[in-house]
Amino acid sequence: MSEHVIHFIYLASTACFILSLKWLGAVPTAKRGVIVGTLGMALAIGGTLLEPTIENFRFIAAAVVVGTIIGVPMAMMPMTAVPQRTALSHAFGALAATLVGTAEYFLHAPHIARFTMGALAIEVILGGLTVTASLMAAGKLQEIIPTRAILFRGQHYLNLAVLGLAVLIGIYLVIDPGAWWLFPIMLGLCLVFGVLLIIPIGGADMPTVIALLNSYAGLAASMMGFVLNNKLLIVAGALDGSSGLILSIVMCKAMNRSMANVLFGGFGSASSAQGAGVKGEARALTPEDATLVLQAARSVVVIPGYGMAVAQAQHVVCELAELLEENGAEVKYAIHPVAGRMPGHMNVLLAEADVPYEQLVEMDDINPIMETVDVAIVIGANDVVNPAARTDESSPIYGMPIINADKARTVFVLKRSMASGFAGIDNPLFFNENTRMIFGDAKKTLQALISEFKNS
């Protein structure tokens, strides 16, 4: 196969990746972005298989079979598991970069150019820490390991020492690539650092952490492109890495926090999540009584959170919204940038339920009109509607922009119990005069509301 043909296929693949990122940035074109991104990856794989240096396809075929066996069940995971599935995908991508970098080093050491060795060291350092960090993030999201921030004395110094030693070894290997015995130590330190990086991060910061790990995995892949002299890997990894970094910055801005605070602040730890304490009496409401209020409402805002994902309630939310619209109410969905446990989590769930994208309103656009809203329905959200972020300087979320649900005329909060949210922070919204708690599984509660609405 002509080298020019392979280069043309790689160029077409790169164009697909760029267009995919552009189209994924808007709801109306997101489906097109997924299709074009998939096409780009197919072209990239096809172009690679045409490389004349490949002489034996048996191992490649075996890898395809193994990847398919792992990938298909992952793709069939429920929507509630998308965040941890995404974290696992980052782990697999980073593992590939780490293994390739390790193989390239032991195949060619000590005869490795300094530039190549520098790229290889960065690839292994970023890839190694991303593997264990992503696995830890997936474990926290799945609640296999404690979701709270785990802090101990001297933690930050230990983290910096482990990472710093790994970087110093990487620099030494650039100077002397033949010091092969240092390579496993560098790799081991990176794997340990990945664990240390995640344990002090609370559950509420997981969306930002996932985006950041996406960036690390992409940058590791880009460095792998320099090592293998593959221009497509360089470009694709750079696109992945830069988009993940930009998304992390956007999400930090949405929380009014710095990246350093997310990575080292211990947000959501037991010691810091107490705030000033919340006192009051919550007022419960039955679905029958709530239906009477909804029937009189002319403007309703739905504020979804992770509880909606757990209950798989997105379809019944859409059904209730249609009934409200038939009754003359205007329905909108207020989307907080960090609602759920991964970037865009709520958008994905609501899109699955065929909610019109015109009804999805970002936080900055919905807040100015919240005082005119008759009913705000909070479904499984906690931290993104917590007014302590505005009023309680002792709260760990103080200063974080929130959806001003408490300013609506009436607030319905659908929760299983009075338990705090994923960040472990109490919410004074639950005790407001205009708030009514509707306890129970969100899906069953919404189904009861729909039944009452139809029978009234």
Q: Identify the active-site residue in 205, 240, 383, 406.
A: 383
Question: How far does Cα 431 stand from its chain's mean position?
Answer: 30
Rounded distance between C-alpha atoms, residue 377 and residue 413, angstroms: 6
Question: Is the alpha carbon torsion for 369, 306, 268, 342 positive or negative?
Answer: negative
Pair of tokens at residue 341: 């446990």
Query: Is 396 in contact with 268 (CB distance < 8 Å)?
Result: yes
CB 345 within 8 A of CB 305: no
CB 445 within 8 A of CB 414: yes
State the Cα–Cα distance between residues 298 and 327, nearest whole angstrom. 8
* Eight-class DSSP state of 53: T
**Pairwise CA distance, residues 294 & 129, whole Å:** 50
- Catalytic, 289? Answer no
Backbone φ and ψ of 212, nearest 5°: -70, -40
Q: Do residues 360 and 347 make contact, with C-beta atoms less than 8 angstroms apart?
A: yes
Query: Which residues participate in catalysis according to the annotation?
Result: 383
